[in-house]
Structure 1
């Protein structure tokens, strides 16, 4: 890996199992590693500020999943878009970069993707930083419950309509701003770019496939909770407490299995980094250096 200055963010691509996987990288190559796994409808772009905040002290790496951002978007006939398969690609990405033991930052989709890997390979975990990423029923907000109810009812027409709504600019913007304490600090670039990526040819079909597969995550919650109980990793939870997707009780729930988990509830939305990247970076610095 290159020796990076603290002010340099590299934009790189490697081939993982025939797919081009884009990632952002910054910080000294010999510094402790933090892997940042993004959520929906975001990409590694959601970490643009946090990467610079952390790069003085850490080697920070943030990939885009297949079907997201600058990574490959194989057709559904060429790649099965499931959370199992996204996790396999991220695991191969980790191995190809030679990452061994590092800190994980998990937000939204990053939760089920990351927990699939770490529950199988706990030796990869130095610490967990959880931001609005749920593994407890307590944190399932009304938005998630609505989608889940449509899936259980088998109402594909209504489900597809709900998914199409979530891909709209109006809904993506709403989810960035709803619950924000200071909406003027949320850059329009964040939701405009997320929508632009989602509006590309073929991407809606990818996202529909992933939404339909999302129900595979809930049965794994007990397995991931067992990982936490058994291995007692160091856990820092930073959570936008006004999130209606994953509500704040999901943040407090981590203490059930890791009593030493440090939980901070911020007066923000599902996309708390848009308002609080500096505060979250300070919490990460303090937590990891203790």
Structure 2
């Protein structure tokens, strides 16, 4: 088993923490995390694949072990997160990789893919939405927040920043709750509970409305470039439903789709199975020859 290395580098004065494993001579996979998680969500998958791939998993600003600049010093939008991660990619001199996206990884990753399609050799999509039909019932508070940000709608959104809200995201819809380590959601909550982080997360949750307006742009990218795509989706996710996974086939008819009997954080239960799917998919496609 290849060991994970824990590194950081400065992007425009912001420390970006990242997990790295495997040899740079192996095919690269860039792993972009979701909310309210960090690169920690990939800890098991990295161990599963590190003997055969070069894996890089950064934490966004305001998440995990990366810096959390004040809101008056860093603009917490998905546009800006994508610019920071694109500069991170260039700083590491990554010129081609498979892009793994989960949740927030979608709006960060697709922005980069649209700007720099030559970087992306394949997509690995796990509960990373790009279609309106994938928006699930758990997003109703978000819709009200996007329509009118006020004290009432903001307070409703604060519920998902609590320990109960974070735990819900990890255990709702899972096959076996005893397989979900409490360390995962408690680790996330540690960072959410930092002074000032709630406001950062609310800024991003409000900015999420702008991602929906870009869905047609991302879909056009998929149609134009037809990246080889593997979809491994927790089908019981109340935020991004299985309809969002199946919608990809409208633009990527050759996409390989696996619907897993779990919720939003599918890797917590099925990292070993997803690792097998990834290895088989990337090996068959011969993408890095």
The 5 Å alignment of 1:43-62 reads: 43-62=38-57
Residue 63 of structure 1 pairs with residue 52 of structure 2: no
Query: Which of 3, 7, 17 in structure 1 is aligned with 2:2?
Result: 7
User: What is the aligned partner in structure 2 of residue 276 from structure 1?
Assistant: 270
Residue 23 of structure 1 pairs with residue 18 of structure 2: yes
Cα distance in structure 2, aligned partners of 1:150 and 1:164: 11
Q: Which secondary structure state, in structure 1, belongs to the residue aligned with residue 208 of structure 2?
A: helix
Task: Please list the CA deviations of residues 69-90 of structure 1 after superposition, one character each: whole Å capped at 9, or x if unmatched.
Answer: 1001000111110000000000
Using the TM superposition, give the Cα deviation of residue 155 of structure 1 relative to its aligned residue in structure 2, in angstroms: 4.5
Task: Please list the CA deviations of residues 248-283 of structure 1 after superposition, one character each: whole Å capped at 9, or x if unmatched.
Answer: 000001100010001000000100100000000000
Residues 155 and 235 of structure 1: is their aligned pair in 2 closer, same or farther, counting only changes over 3 Å? same
User: What is the aligned partner in structure 1 of residue 91 from structure 2?
Assistant: 96
User: What is the aligned partner in structure 2 of residue 232 from structure 1?
Assistant: 226
Report the TM-score when normalising by structure 2.
0.97
User: What is the aligned partner in structure 2 of residue 123 from structure 1?
Assistant: 118
User: What is the aligned partner in structure 2 of residue 151 from structure 1?
Assistant: 146
User: What is the aligned partner in structure 1 of residue 206 from structure 2?
Assistant: 212
* Runs of 5+ unmatched residues, structure 1: 1-5
The 5 Å alignment of 1:182-261 reads: 182-261=176-255
Cα distance in structure 2, aligned partners of 1:150 and 1:209: 11
Using the TM superposition, give the Cα deviation of residue 163 of structure 1 relative to its aligned residue in structure 2, in angstroms: 2.0
- Is the CA contact 2:101–2:124 (under 8 Å) kept in the aligned structure 1? yes
Cα distance in structure 1, aligned partners of 2:12 and 2:273: 37
Residues 83 and 179 of structure 1: is their aligned pair in 2 closer, same or farther, counting only changes over 3 Å? same
Cα distance in structure 1, aligned partners of 2:44 and 2:97: 20
How many residue pairs get aligned? The number is 284
Cα distance in structure 1, aligned partners of 2:109 and 2:125: 10
Q: After alignment, is 129-138 or 158-167 more displaced?
A: 158-167
User: What is the aligned partner in structure 1 of residue 173 from structure 2?
Assistant: 179
User: What is the aligned partner in structure 1 of residue 103 from structure 2?
Assistant: 108
Using the TM superposition, give the Cα deviation of residue 120 of structure 1 relative to its aligned residue in structure 2, in angstroms: 1.2
Report the TM-score when normalising by structure 1.
0.97
Using the TM superposition, give the Cα deviation of residue 158 of structure 1 relative to its aligned residue in structure 2, in angstroms: 2.2
Cα distance in structure 1, aligned partners of 2:149 and 2:275: 42
Using the TM superposition, give the Cα deviation of residue 146 of structure 1 relative to its aligned residue in structure 2, in angstroms: 2.9
Task: Please list the CA deviations of residues 84-141 of structure 1 after superposition, one character each: whole Å capped at 9, or x if unmatched.
Answer: 0000000000000000111000000000000000011110111000000000011000
User: What is the aligned partner in structure 2 of residue 3 from structure 1?
Assistant: none
- Is the CA contact 2:235–2:261 (under 8 Å) kept in the aligned structure 1? yes
Cα distance in structure 1, aligned partners of 2:214 and 2:196: 29
Task: Please list the CA deviations of residues 161-201 of structure 1 after superposition, one character each: whole Å capped at 9, or x if unmatched.
Answer: 12210000011111100100011001000001111110011
Runs of 4+ residues over 2 Å off in structure 1: none
Residue 166 of structure 1 pairs with residue 160 of structure 2: yes
* Runs of 5+ unmatched residues, structure 2: 285-289
Tell me the C-alpha RMSD between the 2 structures.
0.8
Residue 266 of structure 1 pairs with residue 239 of structure 2: no
